[in-house]
Structure 1
Amino acid sequence: VEEGRLVTKARLLDEVWKGVPVTEEALTQCVRSLRKALGDEAGRPRFIETVPRHGYRFIASVTAAEAHDANTDAARFEPRPGRDRREALARFLSMGRAGLIGGGAAGLVGGLAYGFAGVAQSGA
C-alpha cells in the first residue's frame, strides 16, 4: 500500500482496466468525478493531489467512520487525523476503479455507437 506516495497513471490504468485499452483522458475524467464527489479542487487539493504528467497521490489524513455515521456524506468524506492511511488509499483506489470502469464502459459504448453511425453514413 502506498500510504501517501505517488500512484502512477500507468499503474492506475493497468490495475483498473486490466489491459483494456483506454486513454489517459478516461483516468482524468474519473479523478475529476472523484474530486467532485469529495468536494475537492485540483488547484487546492484536500484529498487527491495531482503530480503533473506522472499520477496522483491521496493526501488526506482521515479516521474510520463509526458504524452509525456510515450513511452520511460527512462521515464518508470528512478528513480526520489518525485514520489508517492504507484503508484510505484502498478506498480511494476502489472508488477510482469503479469510476474508471464506468467511464471506460461509457466510452466503449459511445465509441461503438459513433463507429456504427459512421459506417451507416458511408454506406448510404
Structure 2
Amino acid sequence: MIHARQALLPEGWRRDVRVPPDAGRIARVEVGVTPCPGDMRADCLVPRMPNVHSHAFQRGFSGLTETRGAGRESFWTWREMTYQLCADRLTRRYAGAGRNGLYRDAGGRVYPRG
C-alpha cells in the first residue's frame, strides 16, 4: 500500500490518499485516510506520463536518407541528414500556419506576428 500526503487525482489535488495496488494496477483510491502500519509513505503522487511519441513521420521520408554520400558516413551524418530533411519539409508545409490564424489564444484571438 502507498499513502501520500497529497495526490493529483482526476478531480484535482487531494490530501491523505491511500492507493492499494492490485496486481500492479490501481484498483481504487482512498481519500482522507490515515496511513496504516506498513504503508509506503510518499509526500506527493502524480499520474505517470504516457509514452505517446510516434515514428509516423518516418514514413514521409522513407528511402530518402538511406543513400550513401560521397564522404565517410556514420549514424551522426545520417542523423543530421534526417533532421535537415524534416526541418525542410516542416518549414515548407507549416511556414504559413501563423499567418493563417491557426494559432489562437484562449479567447480565440490570433496571436500577433512577432
TM-score by length of 2: 0.29
Q: Which one has a bigger Cα radius of gyration?
A: 2
TM-score by length of 1: 0.27
Bigger fraction of residues in helix: 1
Bigger fraction of residues in strand: 2
